[in-house]
Amino acid sequence: MSPRVAFLGLGTMGLPMARNLAHAELPLLVWNRSPSKLEAWSNGGVASTPAEAAAAADIVVTMLTGGDALEAVLFGEAGAATAPVRGKLFVDMSTTGPAAAHKVAARLAALQAAFVDAPVSGSRAPAEKAELVVLAGGQAEDIDRARSVFAAVARAVIVAGPVGAGQTLKVVLNGMGCQQLLAFASMLRLGERAGLSRAVLLEAFSSGAFATPAYAAKRSRVLQKRYGDPDFVLELVLRDAELCAELQRELGVELPTHLAARQEVARAVAQGFGSRDLFCVEELYSDFRTGEPK
C-alpha cells in the first residue's frame, strides 16, 4: 500500500514536486502558506493547516525557504508536529543547513516521530521533469521509507550519512556552485569586453572542457538575458552562501574564494537583483572600470 503523503510548501520548487507526487498516484494532501498558490492546484486534496495535513499522512514532506520557515511550519501554531505524529516520518527537502536539521530531528524524536533531511540538487526545470538529485541524511530504515517519495521527484538519491549529512552535503555542493556562478558571470562579461560574441562564449562555456549541466541548461536564458522568470532566485543563492560561510566558521576554516563569491552575490542582491534568476548576477560586471566591476 502506498504511503499517504502530506506536502507542505508549493513554491517554485515545491509545486512541480507535489505535482509529480500526484502523478505517481501517491495519496496526497497539500498545504501552502500563501492561499494564492493553491488556486492552481488541481491534483489532490488541500489542507487548511499543516497540522491537518500531517494528521492524515504517513509521511510529511516539507519544501520551504529555510530553517526559520521549517520550524514555524512544524512547531508553530497549527504546525504539523502539533498533530499526533507518533510513528510518522518527516522528510525535509528544503535547504536549511545541518544545525537546523539536527534541531528539528531532536524535537521530532521527542514526539516519537522519525526525520530525514533530504535537500535536493536542481532548480525549477529539473523539478518539473522529476530529475532532481536527493541528498539524504538519516537512518537507513527511514530513508527506505521515503523511497517512493524520492522516486516520484528525483532521478537519483545520494545517501550522505546520518541526520544532518544531507544538509551538509547540500551546503558544500552549493558552495561550489556559488563560485562557479561567479566565474561564469564574470568571464562571460570579460569575454564580451574583449570582443567575443555572447553566442560564441556560451557555446564554449556549455560544451568546452569546463562545461556543466547547469551551463548547458541556462544557455538559452543567458543568451537572451531572460532573468525575470526565475528558475532559482539570486537571494536564495545568498542564503545558501551564508550557510556555507556558517559551516566554515563552525569548522574553524576560511575559504577565501567562496567568501569572495558570497560577497559578490550579496552585492548583487543589495542592488535589487535578489528576486531575479541567479544568472542575472552577470549584471554586476556590466561596466568594467580599471579592473573593478561597477
Give the tens place of pLDDT for each residue, 153-185: 999 999 999 999 999 999 999 999 999 999 999
Can you give the CATH number for the domain in which 76 is found? 3.40.50.720
Residue positions annotated with a catalytic role? 170
Task: Please indicate, yes or no, whether residues 124 and 178 belong to a single structural domain of this protein.
Answer: no
Of 104, 132, 161, at which residue does a domain stop?
Answer: 161
* Lookup: cell for 10: 508549493
Cross-strand bridge partners of residue 134: 120, 157
Is there a single domain that holds both residue 49 and residue 183? no
Work out the angle between the directed axes of helices 256-268 and 165-193 (0-180°, nearest 10): 70
Q: Is 98 found in the same domain as 13?
A: yes
Report how far residue 243's alpha carbon sits from residue 86's, in angstroms, rounded to the nearest whole number: 31
Q: Which portions of the chain are predicted below pLDDT 70?
A: 288-294
3-class DSSP assignment, residue 184: helix
- Amino acid 124 reads R
Give the alpha-carbon dihedral of 149, 131, 280, 210, to 10 degrees.
130
Kindly report each contact of residues 186-193 with a partner whose C-beta sits within 8 Å and lies 24 or more positions away, as own/partner: 186/282, 186/284, 186/285, 186/293, 188/222, 188/282, 188/285, 189/282, 189/285, 189/286, 189/288, 190/285, 190/288, 193/288
- Identify whether residues 94 and 58 lie together within a single domain: yes
Task: Supply 55's cell numbers.
Answer: 494528521
| Domain co-membership, 243 together with 263 | yes
Q: List the CATH number of the domain containing 213.
A: 1.10.1040.10
Clarify whether residues 12 and 156 are in a common domain.
yes
- Are 144 and 207 found together in one domain? no
Please state the domain count of the chain: 2
CA dihedral for 55, 144, 64, 169, sign (positive or negative): positive
So what's the pLDDT on residue 43?
A: 82
At residue 116, what are phi and psi to the nearest 5 degrees? Answer: -130, 130
- What is the span of the domain harbouring residue 266? 169-293
* Boundary-marking domain end, from 161, 185, 207: 161
Taking only the tens place, the pLDDT of each residue in 7-18 is: 999 999 999 999
d(CA 153, CA 4): 16
Backbone angles phi, psi at 289, to 5 degrees: -135, 120
One domain for residues 99 and 149 = yes
Classify the C-alpha dihedral 254-257-258-263 as positive or negative: positive
Q: Are residues 155 and 180 in the same domain?
A: no
Indicate if 144 and 25 belong to the same structural domain: yes
154 lies in the same domain as 223: no
pLDDT at 290: 43
SS3 42: coil
3-state secondary structure of 31: strand
Q: Is 202 left (phi over 0), alpha (psi -120 to 50) or beta?
A: alpha
Does the predicted model carry a pTM greater than 0.85? yes
What does each C-alpha distance from 14 to 41, 242, 257 come to in angstroms? 12, 22, 31
Q: Which long-range contacts (CB under 8 A, 24 or more apart) does 38-47 make?
A: 38/10, 40/15, 41/10, 41/15, 43/18, 43/19, 47/6
The Cα–Cα gap between 289 and 281 comes to 17
Say if residue 183 is in the same domain as residue 46: no
Domain final residue, candidates 161, 196, 228: 161
Answer yes or no: are the C-beta atoms of 269 and 234 closer than 8 Å: yes
* pLDDT (0 to 100) of residue 224: 96
